[in-house]
Amino acid sequence: MPTPGTREFFAAFICLALALAGCSKDQSKTSPPPTSPSSPSPTPIPSFTTEQIKSSLLDERDLGKDWKETEQLSAFKEGELRGCSEARIELIGEPARSSKKFGGPDHSFTGANYARFIAVYKSADQASDAFEQVRNSLAKCPDKKKIPFKRLPKKKFVYQHDDTWKLTENEIEGWRHARGSEKSVYPESVSLINVIHYSIDYAQRGNVIFSSMYYQRAKPKESSDPIFEAADEILLEQLKRFR
Which strands, in side-by-side order, build the sheet including 113-120?
A: 68-69, 96-103, 113-120, 208-218, 195-205, 175-185, 161-172, 144-147
Share of the chain above pLDDT 90, in %: 77
Q: Is residue 21 part of a domain?
A: no
Q: How far apart are the C-alpha atoms of 158 and 219, rounded to whole Å?
A: 19
Q: What is the pLDDT of residue 213?
A: 98
Q: What is the pLDDT of residue 208?
A: 98
Domain at 198, CATH number? 3.40.1000
Q: Is residue 143 part of a domain?
A: yes
Q: Is residue 170 part of a domain?
A: yes
- Single-letter code of the amino acid located at 179: R
Residue 29 has pLDDT above 70, yes or no: no
Residue 14 has pLDDT above 50, yes or no: no
Q: Is residue 26 part of a domain?
A: no
Q: How many domains does the chain have?
A: 1
Tell which wins on pLDDT, 51 or 13: 51
CB 60 within 8 A of CB 114: no
**Whole-structure pTM value:** 0.81
Residue 104 has pLDDT above 90, yes or no: yes
Range list of H helices, the chain: 4-20, 50-55, 60-63, 74-77, 124-139, 225-241
Q: Is residue 11 part of a domain?
A: no
Query: What's the mean pLDDT in 9-19?
Result: 39
Q: Is residue 166 part of a domain?
A: yes
Q: Is residue 9 part of a domain?
A: no
Average pLDDT over the chain, rounded to an integer: 87
Q: Which domain holds residue 198?
A: 50-241
The pLDDT tens digits for 178-226 are 999 999 999 999 999 999 999 999 999 999 999 999 999 999 999 999 9
